[in-house]
Amino acid sequence: MSTVRVFVVEDYKPFQQFICSELEKRPELLVIGRAADGLEAVQTAEKLQPDLIVLDVGLPSLNGIEVARQIRKLSTKSKILFVSQESSADLVQEALRLGALGYIVKTDAGSELLPAVEAVLQGRQYLSRGLLFHNRTDATNTQAIRSRAQSGTPIAAVKETDHPRSHEVAFCSDDESFVVGTVRFIEAALEAENAVIVIATASHRKSLLLRLLEHGVDVAAAAEQGRYVSLDVAETLSTFMVNDLPDPARCLKVAGDLVTEAAKAVQREPRRVAVFGECAPILWAHGKADAAVQVEHLWDEIARTHNVDILCAYVLNSFQREQESDIYERICAEHFAVSSR
């Protein structure tokens, strides 16, 4: 079997490594280069002339769509497969119109990357099951996306996401401020008739529940409706942690599935979900700072692509903050808003 030379373009290093490790499962696939920057990707593709380019959308310098546009002129024989968290119909149409043969979302990469690569190398088009079109279960709509792209129908605008990003971190001086702020977040979501997912330690879940009941919140009714989901943080971490680090594909799928399922219980439009999570705080508390930052990054991708409001809360005193200021700054950088209590 002849060797297929593959160039991987992905700016998030753990996910870049995941893609490469998946490709290496097939002996005929040879990764000849990697890039984490759009401009670098164009220059390297022109030099390497790879058979296949696995390309992300959200890249520094040049976004993936512009990268594909330029590469089509500079490396004409290279086939392009997009692997991205972005999933709007306009974006997918533009990617296909530019000549990409495949487009899969990162949450499905664990099961779909290799089948997509195989299809693209055979000259067949491959679209991910997880694409968030308005009629996501409608095969006719999917075919319409393909047809518009193949006919060259102009795209009015390419949007990175239709969802406002809401990912906040709160640094709390003690458990009381932790509970007060988190209860306020949960109450606001339930009062707005949205769904809530709580991923926390057993003690914090109990404290939050008691405080909600004190405030007259009918948690039992919300839980029965599926609008209040309470999960143990250790059990949740076990679903996507591998060798003390989050597996990107697993983490994105677990998070995406949780949000999607909770949204089904919301009876109003737009269907919005509030998520309170302690996954990253627990990892940092256990000395796994790099894993904590990676988890925050992956949840930030969910915040960018779903109708979700995410709150992370750390019980952290000023001494700890000063001692590990580099980790503190990295955590802050993964959020849209930062507050102290």
Positions of CATH 3.40.50.2300 in the chain: 4-151
d(CA 264, CA 318): 41
pLDDT of 160 above 50: no
CATH architecture of 4-151: 3-Layer(aba) Sandwich (3.40)
Q: Given this model, what pLDDT does residue 235 score?
A: 97
218-232 mean pLDDT: 96
Average pLDDT over residues 257-279: 93
Contact 250, 240 (CB under 8 A): yes
Apex 313 CA angle, 309 and 315, nearest 5: 175
> Tokens 């000063």 label which residue?
322
Q: What is the mean pLDDT of the chain?
A: 86
What is the separation of C-alpha 91 from the centre of its chain, rounded to a whole number of angstroms?
A: 16
pLDDT (tens digit per residue) in 41-58: 999 999 999 999 999 998
pLDDT band for 153, please (50, 70, 90 cuts).
very low
Q: Does domain 167-340 have CATH number 3.90.1150.10?
A: no
77 has a pLDDT exceeding 80: yes
Model pLDDT, residue 297 = 92
pLDDT for the residue numbered 161: 37
Q: Is 322 exposed, middle or buried (0-12, 13-18, 19+ CB in 10 A)?
A: exposed
14: cis peptide before it, omega within 30°?
no
Q: Which residues contact 325 (CB under 8 A, 6 or more apart)?
A: none
Please state, in angstroms and as integers, the Cα–Cα distance from residue 59 to each residue in 23, 43, 100, 198, 323, following that order.
Answer: 21, 14, 17, 31, 32
The more confident residue out of 188 and 138 is 188
Residue 234's pLDDT band, with cuts at 50, 70 and 90, is very high
What would the pLDDT profile of 88-140 be if each residue is shown by its tens digit?
Answer: 778 888 899 899 999 998 888 888 899 999 999 999 888 887 664 433 333 44
Pairwise CA distance, residues 187 & 194, whole Å: 10
Tell me what percent of the residues of the chain surpass a pLDDT of 90: 64
SS3 263: helix
Helices (H), ranges, the chain:
13-23, 38-48, 64-74, 89-97, 109-121, 139-151, 175-191, 202-214, 219-225, 233-238, 248-263, 279-285, 289-305, 318-323, 325-333
Residues 168 and 165: their CA atoms lie apart, in Å, by 10
Predicted model pTM: 0.66
Q: Is the pLDDT of residue 146 over 80?
A: no
Q: Where in the chain is the domain with CATH 3.40.50.300?
A: 167-340
